Amino acid sequence: MKYPTLALLLAIALGSTLAANAAEPKLTPLFNGKDLTHFKAAESAGFWRAENGILIGENNAEKKGNYLWTEKSYGDFVIEFDVRWKATTERGVDTGLEMRSPKIQLQLGISGSLRVDMTGSFYTGGKPAYPEIGQAKDAKKLMKPEGEWNTLRIQAKGNTFTCWINGQKASEYTDAKFSGAAPLGFQIHPGVVMKCEYRNIRLAEL
C-alpha cells in the first residue's frame, strides 16, 4: 500500500482551507460607526443616530415608528450584526430587519401582533403572519440575557432565508414570493416606548 506523501497531504489541507475561505463571503461594514452614511438618513431624522460606534434607534414622544432604509437595494446577501435592547415597558422592544420585495422581516423582540417574543422568526404579513416553519423556537436558549449583545446573522439566498443567533442556526424559511431586490430596513415599531442598539453591521452580496 502506498501512503500519501507530505507534499500531497499539505496540498489537500491547503485546498480544503481555500475552499472554506471561498465559501465564506467577505463581509464589509454597512455602518461606519460615525454617521448614517449608506442609509436614507433624512427620512429617519429624530429616530436613529450614531454614538460611539453604535447605531441607536428610539421612537419619538408620539410613539411613531420608523424604518432606517439602506440607500442600496439588495437581492441575495448575508448580513451580520450585534444587537441589544432592554425593555422599559410591558410591550417590550419590537425591532427587526426588513428585506426583499414584497417585504419579509426577521423579527427581533416582541411581536406587535402576537405580543410574544418572536426573536429570530420570519414575519411575512400573511396568514399566519409568522409561518411555523420559519419560527425560531429555540431562540430563548440561544440568546444571552436581555441587555447583553447578541450576534445575529441573516442570509437571503434565492428563495431561502436563514437566521443564526450567536453562531447557531435558529430558523429557516423558503418562499419564492419574496424574490425582488429591495433596500434593507432596520425597524422601530410604532406605538411602543423602545430603544434598540446595533453595532458591527457588516454585509456581503452573494
How many structural domains is the chain composed of?
1
Q: C-alpha 82: how far from its chain's center?
A: 9
pLDDT at 17 over 90: no
Amino acid (one-letter) located at 62:
E
Assess if residue 15 is contained within a domain: no
Nearest to 66 by CA among 196, 193, 198, 185: 185
Span 157-172, pLDDT tens digits: 999 999 999 999 999 9
- pLDDT value for 88: 84
Assess if residue 62 is contained within a domain: yes
Assess if residue 102 is contained within a domain: yes
User: Is pLDDT larger for residue 80 or for residue 8?
Assistant: 80
Assess if residue 118 is contained within a domain: yes
Assess if residue 94 is contained within a domain: yes
- pLDDT value for 155: 98
pLDDT at 1 over 60: no
Residue 10 pLDDT level (bands cut at 50, 70, 90): low
Instruction: Print the domain residue range for 71.
Output: 27-205
Assess if residue 175 is contained within a domain: yes
Assess if residue 18 is contained within a domain: no
Span 178-205, pLDDT tens digits: 999 999 999 999 999 999 999 999 999 9
Residue 19 pLDDT level (bands cut at 50, 70, 90): very low
Query: What CATH number corresponds to the domain at position 113?
Result: 2.60.120.560
- pLDDT value for 23: 77
Span 63-116, pLDDT tens digits: 999 999 999 999 999 999 999 999 888 889 999 999 999 999 999 999 988 999
Span 41-66, pLDDT tens digits: 999 999 999 999 999 999 988 999 99
Residue 20 pLDDT level (bands cut at 50, 70, 90): very low
3-state secondary structure labels for all residues of the chain: CCCCCHHHHHHHHHHHHHHHHHHCCCCEECCCCCCCCCECHHHHCCCEEEECCEEEEECCCCCCCEEEEEEEEECCEEEEEEEEECCCCCCCCEEEEEECECCEEEEEEECCCCCCECCCCEECCCCCCCCHHHCCCCHHHHCCCCCCCEEEEEEEECCEEEEEECCEEEEEEECCCCCECEEEEEEECCCCCCEEEEEEEEEEEC
Span 114-141, pLDDT tens digits: 999 999 999 999 999 999 999 999 999 9
- pLDDT value for 87: 86
Cα angle 169, 170, 174; round to 5: 95
- pLDDT value for 76: 98
Assess if residue 107 is contained within a domain: yes
- pLDDT value for 3: 54
